[in-house]
Amino acid sequence: MGLANLVPGVSGGTMILAVGLYDRFILAVAELSSLRWSRGMFIFLGLLAAGLGVALVGLAGPAVHMVTHYRWAMYSLFVGMTLGGAPELLKLAFPKEGAGSKSSAAIALGIGFALMAWIAWSLQGVALPHTFLAFLAMGVLAASSMILPGVSGSYLLLIFGVYDVVIGSLSSSALKEDLKGSIMILLPVGLGAVIGIALLSNALKVVLSRYSKPAHGALLGLLLGSVLGLWPFQEARYPELLDKSVRNAIAAEIVEASAWEPAFTSRSLELDEADGLKMTKALGNGTVRGGVKSLGSVTLRYTPNALGVFKVLALFAFGLALVRKLAPRES
């Protein structure tokens, strides 16, 4: 679950669902936030939190590196892993019995899918300022990845241009080199995540118990729609900006020149009009370094060769098989 939460497009909730622990997880988190504690709840959540913490701290750096430099491979693998949780939701949303009540689940599925399609296609390139309130809001949104199957908090961070800022601050190297800076980012994100988890878990507990089929239908729609933004055949628009030292040098030049164009022209980086406007805005609100980082996540789609298609399909199949192997077997 911890590894899933680090990768854009992959939901930690999907991993919990795939291994048959989703209902227990929602109940335990709801009990914790409502102060109805038990020994079993603490043991379950303690073990979960231990694995989550190890993954977040130990794998944050490698996850950011893989997503930025080998996007096609990571997206292929995790599209398969995400869709591996679909059969479990399908069984809950459309059980064999009660055929007459499937329309509500189908409508909810369509709504959930449309919501994720809107997020994937309409919010791309939205840049957030690097402020306490912005990180707090992203923490609330990112918490959904631990609650809702199909909704990836890391994916939302990537869409809003703060993925490498937030996830990078979790890495052990960032914590050693700039502890204060990492805390200033992680504190509001963590606070927002606590608020989001508490609210979502209790709301979802009620919805799942009262409206089981449409609720699981909506979750299935969210899961299926979450892969729309994970097209594997894309590469960085400005590959030079994947290097941190280059980003810092360019950001310093922009600040010194009080304009983005001279700095980028001197490094043979030609910004299109939209990206140029982003940098002008970043310069105006004092978030140049964050603006340069966000440009590093801008991607272009490309046409793969036959070998590239084969590799993507192989990774997709491996991810799908891996999650299905973890899925609970019917007795």
User: What integer is the mean pLDDT of 140-155?
Assistant: 72
Instruction: Give, in order, the Cα–Cα distances in Å from 308 to each of 78, 256, 258, 315.
Output: 16, 42, 42, 11
Confidence at residue 331, expressed as pLDDT on a 0 to 100 scale: 47
Which of 139-148, 202-211, 287-296, 302-311 holds the top average pLDDT?
302-311
Which of 153-167, 171-185, 214-228, 287-301 holds the top average pLDDT?
214-228
Higher per-residue pLDDT: 270 or 301: 301
Confidence at residue 113, expressed as pLDDT on a 0 to 100 scale: 92
pLDDT at 7 over 80: no
pLDDT at 291 over 80: no
* Pairwise CA distance, residues 101 & 327, whole Å: 26
The ranges assigned to domains in the chain are 2-232+303-326, 239-295
% pLDDT > 70, the chain: 79
Tens digits of per-residue pLDDT, 46-93? 998 898 888 877 877 787 778 778 888 988 988 888 788 788 888 888
Report which of 79, 76, 135, 127 is spatially closest to residue 298, judged by C-alpha positions. Answer: 127
Tens digits of per-residue pLDDT, 181-219? 788 888 998 898 888 888 888 888 888 888 888 988 888
